[in-house]
Amino acid sequence: MSVNEVEQKWEPKILVFACNWCTYAGADLAGLGRLQYPPNARILRVPCSGRVNPQFIIKAFQRGVDGVLVAGCHPGDCHYTTGNYFTRRRFLLMRRLMEYMGMEPERLQNRWISGSEGPKVQQVITEITEEIRALGPNRKLRDDQWNN
Amino acid sequence: MKRVGVFVCHCGTNIAGVVDCAKVAEVAKDFPGVEYSVDYKYMCSEPGQEMIKKAIKDNRLDRVVVASCSPRMHETTFRKCVEGGGLNAYFVEMANIREHCSWVHMNEKEKATEKAIDLVKMAVAKVIKNAPLQKATIPVTDRALVIGGGIAGIQAAIDIANAGHIVDIVERDPSIGGKMAQIDKTFPTLDCSACILTPKMVEASSHPNINLITYSEIEKVEGFVGNFNVTIRKKARSVNMDVCTGCGVCMEKCPSKVDSEFELAMSKRRAIYTPFPQAIPNKPVIDRVNCTYFKTGKCGICQKVCMAGAVDYSQEDKFVVTRYGAIVVATGFELFDYSVYGEYGYGKYPDVITGLQFERLVNASGPTMGKIKRPSDHKEPKNVVFIKCVGSRDVAKGKSYCSKACCMYTAKHATLVSEKIKDSNVYIFYMDVRTAGKGYDEFYNRTREQYEANYIRGRVSKIYQKGDKLIVRGEDTLISRPVEVEADLVVLATAMVAQPDAAKLAQKIGIGYDKDDLYTEAHPKLAPVETHTQGVYLAGACQGPKDIPESVAQGSAAAAKVCGLLSKSEMLTEPIVSEVDERACAGCEMCVPICPYTAIEMKTISERVHGKMLERKVASVNSGLCQGCGACTVTCRSAAINLKHFTDEQILAEVNALCL
């Protein structure tokens, strides 16, 4: 297979950290409503977006994920009162760090999707998939010892 | 090495119609740790669950992955199932290949299958690292606290007490009764409010299981479900409750008169007072701000005239700590301060009053003995204008929500005006008329047709004085014409808003509140009286505008929840909580302020270092308080705190698996 062919076959792999109470429920609702979106995102359930350690995000990029979305309840609506405020602060810092590392900061995204916003899940995942597709594969941080 | 079993569900054609389930099961066989893999039509069905239990036994499986619907749907089902198969309930993980895969990728079967395989791979990687967790039991204190002695709180307390539990009602005013005690008649039946409320008040005060703690406030709430330690500030009444006979002589003789809060400043009360004659407890308190003795040190008349010797100027605020199993918050509402609407002439025109003031004017025990007289010259008004939605449904100046009860109470006021004043005219300016409820719309129609109230659809732009009349200028939007009404009295239907200190109390208790400081329920539909803090329930208008029937219903609903909780002496707690690795904890205390439940405290441990006993501080999680959000885990610089069932290792294993 030529390099070009590999490139054409490439599909972005997106990891979504979804909080159990809002975004995960929103994604369930999108399913109930049969709202179709690209199959590139893999949703990982966490109790709260505030549980997402920046370490998880960096590891994900090292392992070759092309984009990461951290999604939680709307600010002020956190099931645990304040969890997503910490997410918001960490996200801003993480984006700065990514710029510093030479990564496209757009590879890390942060959205607030409530449990009743099925259509927003569809819209956000579609949007982000396209954005990451336009950026191309993540090569900067990818550590090939993990990818045989 | 763990032995994982993978069970792929077809969910009829819900999953199998898109995802190649047989292929997923086949591929899963090669994942590290997987011993057994199979697909089946309905995993959640009885035969499906039996299949899992049998497979656990036959293949000596110690971890299970079910690839099916959302864990929010069936996690409990499969936890019970693996428990039945002899495993720890937390040795199962679910891969959501229905809501997150087959249903949302219906036209991309191949890619959906690929995604399903990935999701199963992630679940397998996680489940291998699952630790056995046990639900713990905590004791439950058989005593409930009701904060607020309005109708919702009274109803909740009576219901809990009737079920055999001890209840304390804490009320900050000198008497229970709340806003309902101020109301004259209730819609749609026009029952006398006092006639239906006072028997309830008496029932609450004489019930052997209910203690009234009036003139008291909540100072501090510590602890967790089943074991709340609540500090109550008993404000100094300056009257010894045990000795006072409630004869009322002190109130007659007291020389200082101030505006009565109960009568909304339309009449006076004394500095030693009960808010209203039917108050419960019917024993006075001294308002120290206005009492001559407390201001100048002279007077002391009430003490001299008290035959029982109950007046005690030396009393001080007392703090009592009591342990409760459950808390009902029923703190009610306050009226919107309509001074933001300059066009209604707040404070300028004495004959512009609020709906609640009108209730006092028509009330037989009110300042006018039930005769409707305008405050300025005590004349009987002929033309009465009502303005609805004052502060409600106004995003710019007031509240965005509808206050719900105003349409009905304005209709009630209109009928009362027509009944009490002959040849009177009633004009009602409205935005919409919202009268949903049993018998409500019929009542509204009666007001319009039988009592001939003039409903004018439009807003009022200005009120100004002309002679002894108030000119109300507005627009009738149905005919697109400006209208002017010469009014003798204007009544504003002001919005119901949260108590001014609602947010402060919410922070003390640790419950959520919205942008309007109204308390948030755990789920707007399915958990309307629960809060996100276990063991704390809501009743009445503190959660959102409500009329009396709804407040009573919610009070009873909250009581049912409390009874459910208090009916057992012990309760099970969710084991998904944070735990501290004391060896790694550096004692930096970063995790303490981040915890929204104040579940983390520092404790001192002693350990042997190089043969010497040393003491150091480490964090310690109170598993009864911890709700398992995991915020502390990210803050911990030495990675000493981990959240059970969502550990760093488990999440990283999932991330790794996704990228393999």
Taking only the tens place, the pLDDT of each residue in B124-156 is: 999 999 999 998 888 999 999 999 999 999 999
CB contact, 8 Å: A20 with chain B?
A: yes
Q: In the structure encoding, which two tokens stand for residue B122, read together?
A: 């992630």
Q: In the structure encoding, which two tokens stand for residue B257, read together?
A: 């008169």
**Fold equal for B4-129 and B140-234+317-332+499-571:** no
Q: What is the pLDDT of residues B325-365, one digit of tens each?
A: 999 999 999 999 999 999 998 778 999 999 999 999 999 99
What pLDDT, on a 0 to 100 scale, did the predictor assign at position A145?
A: 65
Spell out which residues of chain B touch residue A48, defining contact as CB-CB under 8 Å: 629-631
State yes or no: ipTM above 0.90. Answer: yes
Q: How far apart are CA B280 and CA B201, in angstroms?
A: 7
Statement: residue A6 has pLDDT above 70: no
pLDDT band at B511 (very low <50, low <70, confident <90, very high): confident
**Of residues B510, B631, B648, nearest to A83 (C-beta):** B631
CATH number at residue A49: 3.40.50
DSSP string, B489-549: EEEEEEPEEE-TTHHHHHHHHT--B-TTSPBPPSBTTTBSSB-SSTTEEE-GGGSS---HH
The percentage of chain B sitting over the pLDDT mark of 90, rounded to a whole number, equals 90
Q: How far apart are CA B337 and CA B499, in angstroms?
A: 12
**Domain membership flag for residue A5:** no
Cβ distance of A31 and B634 shorter than 8 Å: no
- Provide φ and ψ at B294, rounded to 5°: -75, -25
Q: In this predicted model, which residue has the larger pLDDT, B450 or B224?
A: B450
Q: List chain B domain ranges.
A: 4-129, 140-234+317-332+499-571, 236-316, 337-496, 578-644
**Domain membership flag for residue A87:** yes
pTM (2 decimals)?
0.76
- What fold, for B578-644? Alpha-Beta Plaits (3.30.70)
- The answer to whether residues B482 and B488 touch, using CB atoms and an 8 Å cutoff, is no
Q: In the structure encoding, which two tokens stand for residue B540, read together?
A: 């009445």
Taking only residues 125 to 144 of chain A, the set having a beta carbon closer than 8 angstroms to any beta carbon of chain B reads: none
Q: B250 burial class (0-12, 13-18, 19+ CB within 10 angstroms)?
A: buried
Q: How far apart are CA B515 and CA B225, in angstroms?
A: 26
Look at chain A and report how many structural domains it folds into: 1
**Domain membership flag for residue A29:** yes
Spell out which residues of chain B touch residue A30, defining contact as CB-CB under 8 Å: 99, 104
**Of residues B99, B594, B596, nearest to A31 (C-beta):** B99
CB contact, 8 Å: B507 with chain A?
A: no
Taking only residues 38 to 97 of chain A, the set having a beta carbon closer than 8 angstroms to any beta carbon of chain B reads: 39, 42-48, 50-56, 59-60, 63-65, 76, 79-83, 86, 90
Q: Which helix (H) or strand (E) holds B49?
A: helix B46-58
What pLDDT, on a 0 to 100 scale, did the predictor assign at position A7?
A: 65
Cβ distance of B105 and A32 shorter than 8 Å: no
Cα pseudo-dihedral A77, A79, A85, A86, rounded to 10: -170
- The answer to whether residues B285 and B273 touch, using CB atoms and an 8 Å cutoff, is yes
Q: What is the mean pLDDT of chain B?
A: 94
- What fold, for B140-234+317-332+499-571? FAD/NAD(P)-binding domain (3.50.50)
Statement: residue A147 has pLDDT above 70: no
Spell out which residues of chain B touch residue A36, defining contact as CB-CB under 8 Å: 104-107
Kindly report the CATH class assigned to B337-496: alpha beta
Cβ distance of B100 and A31 shorter than 8 Å: yes
**Domain membership flag for residue A102:** yes
**Domain membership flag for residue A1:** no
What pLDDT, on a 0 to 100 scale, did the predictor assign at position A79?
A: 83
- Residue A103 sits in which domain range? 14-142
Q: What is the pLDDT of residues B159-205, one digit of tens each?
A: 999 999 999 999 999 999 999 999 999 999 999 999 999 999 999 99
pLDDT band at A148 (very low <50, low <70, confident <90, very high): very low
What pLDDT, on a 0 to 100 scale, did the predictor assign at position A115?
A: 84
Q: CA end-to-end span of chain A, whole Å?
A: 16
Cβ distance of A56 and B107 shorter than 8 Å: no
Nearest CA in chain A to B657: A63
Q: What is the pLDDT of residues A19-72, one digit of tens each?
A: 998 999 999 999 999 999 999 999 999 999 999 999 999 999 998 899 999 999
Cβ distance of A54 and B634 shorter than 8 Å: yes
What pLDDT, on a 0 to 100 scale, did the predictor assign at position A5?
A: 66
What pLDDT, on a 0 to 100 scale, did the predictor assign at position B596?
A: 87
**Domain membership flag for residue A6:** no
Give the amino acid at B144. A
Statement: residue B28 has pLDDT above 50: yes
**Domain membership flag for residue A81:** yes
Select from 3.40.50, 2.115.10, 2.60.40, 3.10.20 the CATH code of B4-129.
3.40.50
CB contact, 8 Å: A146 with chain B?
A: yes
Cβ distance of B105 and A65 shorter than 8 Å: no
